[in-house]
Chains A and B, each alone.
Chain A
Amino acid sequence: MTGVRALLVVLMVVTGAAAGSTEDLFVRSKIEFPGKIEDHLLADVDGDGRHDVLVVHAAPGDRHDYHLAVCFQRPEKKFDGCEIIDLPEDVRAFDVGNVDPAPGSELVMVTATGIVWSAFEAGRLGPRHLMTEVSSVFTATDPDVPRPLDLLFDLNGDGRDELLLPGSDGPTWVKPDGSTQLLESPAIVLYRLASRGADVNAALRSGFQSRVTSEMNTPDLHVFDWDGDGRLDVVTQLDNVLRVFLQDEVGSLPSQPSRTIERSTLAGNELDSSFTGEVTSFAQLDLDGRADLILTKWGSSEERTRMDRAIFFSRPDGSYPELPDQRVRSESVTPDFNLVDLDGNGTRDLVVPFFHFAPSQAVKVITQNALRWQLRIFLLGSNGRYSQEEGKEFARIDRRVVLDYKLDILKLLFGNQARPTGRIAPLLDFRADIDGDGFADLVADDGGDKLRIYWGNADARYSSSPDREVPFESTLAYDLIDADGDGRTDLFAYHGTRPVKDQIDGHGFHAVKRRRTERKRARRAEEARRARTQDETEPRERVRLEILMSLGRGG
């Protein structure tokens, strides 16, 4: 692949009204094109106020030839085609945002030598413009998969995005006028001496310098109104250390952190256990507009399967108590949790996925092909605290939602579905308002190609059986977002590869007893297809997207 070259591809797209019960709930689009999915991004590329889908994928049969598919959303909530754009070879990471005065977004690319941007121009990228030559963690790196990275943020709210670039000393803020400012938040650099090759060399000779392998961990970077003054601040997070750069009235940021916050709930002896871990997160939980801290601890030696979430509410002066205000305890597989306003009172309620470690779960997998999950809901009351009785150590669980997730062991072990990187998890999510009534609905993939929807309400009580059930190919990679600005959440599901053999059978990965004549006919059809197309690659890789645009309950 040399330079930027554009190619408009007419894709096999199947778009149409959804069938059966989904007709009044979603407009369904299915997109499919050759390639192997690597990553995805939602952004308004053409500036029409609607989100479009961008999919990074490798060309079929060539793992190092990367393309960007841009699938545009049409006014009638449909996606009826994608433009395939070759990604330049030197791109390491990219983001889509508004960096020039012209309408529509631009593609900002981080390369090994600097930052460049190009406009999208009907199936191709426009000429490159240099944004800055400031060095970043990507400087002088070798090529790999170009991935989306949050680089562009509208810090001052003027509608134009500015660049925050990860670096070894901290993020560099590239301002609209091209000037730069370092926000000091140094990365942690780990190193390792020698390698297997060095071991071999050491046996042959002495007195040589062995290889040094190093790994740089730059902080997570958040743009967030930390102090509730209505202006966006920059927050970096590395391990348990949060560095907050507060934006002042004139829109400038300090080079040194305005606040450095570090809390830990781990006792000294707990650090000895390799199972134990802790992660800090923050969110505006109550109505004071300031960030509150949530520390999740897992695998401690005292209670192996328990995960405790310690909550530190911010004080009016922006400080935090030394000891947590509340603790939430639950068993869990992962430290993930959700913070969603379920009851519509403006505060963020806590949703903790719960999995009971018990022999019955194994039996359930054997006899029912399913795992049982529980979503535990802790409601944040008007007093700014989760329910907790006097004298109790932990907050009380207010609601429980039980869901079975079908687990196809064969598909898990032998399935060749390529999956995008990033957050991969079953779709069991409260962050949706499908009907646009202001209450969070629960959308849950049942693992067996059905999507279950439970309507939310002011009481945050969800029915024990789904309110709606629609066909939906199960996925582990999805986005839930209001993609057309109508106040209703839409669903984007990403699938990677499906072998041709499977397309012929048309019965997923389940063993289906077929008559011998049918099998023969399918094999002959496949051989004929290959002879026609002279295609010897098998299986042929396909990128597939399923998009459900909500119409609300009334359609």
Chain B
Amino acid sequence: MTTLLGFVRTVARLVRADVTKLSRYWVVVSGFVAIAILAVSGMMIFYRIEQTANVTADSGYDFALSVVNRLVDVSMPIVYVLVCILFAIDVSNSTVKCILTRPVTRMELLVSKYVTALGMVTLNVALLWAVALSGGAAYYGLGDLTENGYVIFSGGYVLGQFALGTFFLILGFASVAAMGVAVSAFSSTMGGAIIIGLIFFFVLGAISVIPASLGLTVSSGGESFLLSFSSLSLPKQPLVPLGVLDDLTTGVAIESWWIPPIQRMLVVCGCHLALFFTISAIGVRKRDFTL
């Protein structure tokens, strides 16, 4: 118990140091500023397009959900690139040597990077929701969710479901960030980490364009199931919970979040997360940071 507590304390100290360091590093700050600018301008452009095309959202919640859906796609590569430099920044500045001269294990260092990455992802998602909901409130109003003038869900219920959806969104996002940390764990320069990281990101993203009807057919109990290759596309997984939330804005209550699409997403993301953590753990343990 004491060991675990000590582990957590050390990780917390390392995360605090990371946050302090990153919040003063202009690249990271610029990245989040870029996301904020993209979010606000994107939201305004999206509203403008809606008005021009006369295809308007049903409500502020519908609008906010659509905005987040689009912005997740846009902001994901930016956050991912920022995560890619988490280790590389310490290696290229040689600060990792100083850290490892302290009573800090390599596993604590690795876990702290994952926690920092999770924090960056959470900050990004919170930023997107803040912008999207503000836009929804300004343009259409929030309050209760209505359709053709009839209340279909109370505002509290909708926001509660949005919070649950956001939890799953962050889980999906975190598995993408894990790939960034894994790449970073093997990189010595920030440029190298970003280039290698982006290659992995777009390769895994490209899998999503494989038609979902292509895959491996597995028979079980007389029934055959198709395991689509496109299911392996990691960058698309965070969008799955947003698809579930989409039901809400069309008047369908979400009876359960434990449904096959979410289960599939958790399996894909969980496998990727375990894989990337294992790879990065091997890398961090084997690597000679003193060079």
B252 touching A366 by the CB < 8 A rule? no
Q: Which residues of B from 240 to 275 have beta carbons under 8 Å from A?
A: 240, 242-243, 245-247, 249-252, 255, 261, 264-265
B213 touching A369 by the CB < 8 A rule? yes
List the B residue with the shortest CB-CB distance to A395.
Answer: B148
B150 touching A389 by the CB < 8 A rule? yes
Known: A304-B55, A367-B261, A409-B212. A374 touches B217 (CB 8 A): no
Interface string of B142-180 (1 = CB under 8 A from A): 000001111000000000000000000000000000000
B69 touching A366 by the CB < 8 A rule? no
A366 touching B255 by the CB < 8 A rule? no
A369 touching B149 by the CB < 8 A rule? no
List the A residue with the shortest CB-CB distance to B152.
Answer: A397
A244 to B285, CA, bound (A): 86
Q: Which residues of A from 352 to 380 have beta carbons under 8 Å from B?
A: 354, 356-361, 363-369, 372, 374
Interface string of A508-525 (1 = CB under 8 A from B): 011111000000000000
B212 touching A367 by the CB < 8 A rule? yes
Q: Chain A's nearest CB lies how many Å from the CB of B241? A: 10
Known: A392-B149, A402-B252. A411 touches B54 (CB 8 A): no
A46 to B261, CA, bound (A): 51
Which B residues touch A364, using CB under 8 A?
243
Q: Which residues of B from 37 to 88 have beta carbons under 8 Å from A?
A: 53-56, 65-66, 69-70
- Taking residues whose C-beta sits less than 8 angstroms from the other chain, chain A's interface range is 35 or more
Which B residues touch A361, using CB under 8 A?
243, 246
Which A residues touch B54, using CB under 8 A?
301-304
Which B residues touch A513, using CB under 8 A?
216
A360 touching B246 by the CB < 8 A rule? yes
Q: Is A193 an interface residue (CB 8 A)?
A: no
B261 touching A368 by the CB < 8 A rule? yes
List the B residue with the shortest CB-CB distance to A387.
Answer: B150
Which A residues touch B242, using CB under 8 A?
360, 363
B246 touching A510 by the CB < 8 A rule? no
Q: Which residues of A from 523 to 541 have beta carbons under 8 Å from B?
A: none
Give the residue of B56, B69, B215, B261 whose beta carbon is less than 8 angstroms from that of A359: B69
Which A residues touch B209, using CB under 8 A?
366
B212 touching A366 by the CB < 8 A rule? yes
A402 touching B247 by the CB < 8 A rule? yes
Q: Is B230 an interface residue (CB 8 A)?
A: yes
Q: Is A190 an interface residue (CB 8 A)?
A: no
List the B residue with the shortest CB-CB distance to A359.
Answer: B69
Q: Is B29 an interface residue (CB 8 A)?
A: no
List the A residue with the shortest CB-CB distance to B250.
Answer: A356
Which A residues touch B53, using CB under 8 A?
304
List the B residue with the shortest CB-CB distance to A20.
Answer: B222
Which A residues touch B55, using CB under 8 A?
304-305, 357
Which A residues touch B217, using CB under 8 A?
507, 510, 512
Q: Is B10 an interface residue (CB 8 A)?
A: no
A329 touching B252 by the CB < 8 A rule? no
Q: Is B226 an interface residue (CB 8 A)?
A: yes
Which of the candidate stretches B20-28, B91-99, B119-127, B231-239 sits at the interface with the other chain? Answer: B231-239
A509 to B214, CA, bound (A): 9
A374 to B213, CA, bound (A): 23
Give the residue of B214, B237, B261 whose beta carbon is less than 8 angstroms from that of A511: B214
A303 touching B56 by the CB < 8 A rule? yes
A409 touching B211 by the CB < 8 A rule? yes
Known: A409-B211, A410-B214. A510 touches B226 (CB 8 A): yes
Give the residue of B147, B239, B245, B251 whose beta carbon is less than 8 angstroms from that of A367: B239
B255 touching A464 by the CB < 8 A rule? yes
Give the residue of A367, A389, A511 whose beta carbon is less than 8 angstroms from that of B240: A367
Give the residue of B148, B214, B249, B252 whose beta carbon is less than 8 angstroms from that of A393: B148
Known: A359-B70, A510-B214, A510-B217. A374 touches B252 (CB 8 A): yes
List the A residue with the shortest CB-CB distance to B55.
Answer: A304
A363 touching B252 by the CB < 8 A rule? no
B215 touching A510 by the CB < 8 A rule? yes
Interface string of A399-419 (1 = CB under 8 A from B): 010100000111100000000
A366 touching B56 by the CB < 8 A rule? no
List the A residue with the shortest CB-CB distance to B67.
Answer: A359
A433 to B111, CA, bound (A): 60
Which A residues touch B147, using CB under 8 A?
397
Known: A356-B246, A393-B148, A397-B147. A363 touches B251 (CB 8 A): no
Q: Which residues of A from 106 to 137 have beta carbons under 8 Å from B?
A: none
Q: Is B208 an interface residue (CB 8 A)?
A: yes
Interface string of B215-233 (1 = CB under 8 A from A): 1110000000010101101
Which B residues touch A329, using CB under 8 A?
148
B148 touching A392 by the CB < 8 A rule? yes
Q: Chain B's nearest CB lies how many Å from the CB of A521? A: 19
A107 to B261, CA, bound (A): 52
Known: A357-B55, A410-B214. A366 touches B208 (CB 8 A): yes
A507 to B216, CA, bound (A): 11
Give the residue of B148, B214, B230, B250 whose beta carbon is less than 8 angstroms from that of A366: B230
Q: Chain A's nearest CB lies how many Å from the CB of B236? A: 6
Which A residues touch B265, using CB under 8 A?
367
A363 touching B149 by the CB < 8 A rule? no
Q: Is A160 an interface residue (CB 8 A)?
A: no
List the B residue with the shortest CB-CB distance to A507.
Answer: B217
A480 to B54, CA, bound (A): 38
Q: Chain B's nearest CB lies how many Å from the CB of A471? A: 9
A511 to B148, CA, bound (A): 45
Which A residues touch B215, using CB under 8 A?
510-511
Give the residue of A363, A389, A408 whose beta carbon is less than 8 angstroms from that of B213: A408
B66 touching A359 by the CB < 8 A rule? yes
Known: A359-B69, A394-B148. A410 touches B246 (CB 8 A): no
9 A-B pairs with C-beta separation under 8 A: A359-B69, A360-B69, A360-B243, A361-B246, A393-B149, A396-B148, A397-B147, A400-B252, A510-B213
Enumerate chain A interface residues (CB-CB to B < 8 A).
Answer: 301-305, 329, 354, 356-361, 363-369, 372, 374, 389, 392-394, 396-397, 400, 402, 408-411, 464, 507, 509-513
Enumerate chain B interface residues (CB-CB to A < 8 A).
Answer: 53-56, 65-66, 69-70, 147-150, 208-209, 211-217, 226, 228, 230-231, 233, 236-237, 239-240, 242-243, 245-247, 249-252, 255, 261, 264-265
11 other A-B residue contacts (CB within 8 Å) besides A367-B264, A400-B251:
A359-B69, A361-B246, A363-B236, A369-B230, A374-B250, A392-B148, A397-B148, A397-B150, A400-B250, A510-B213, A513-B216
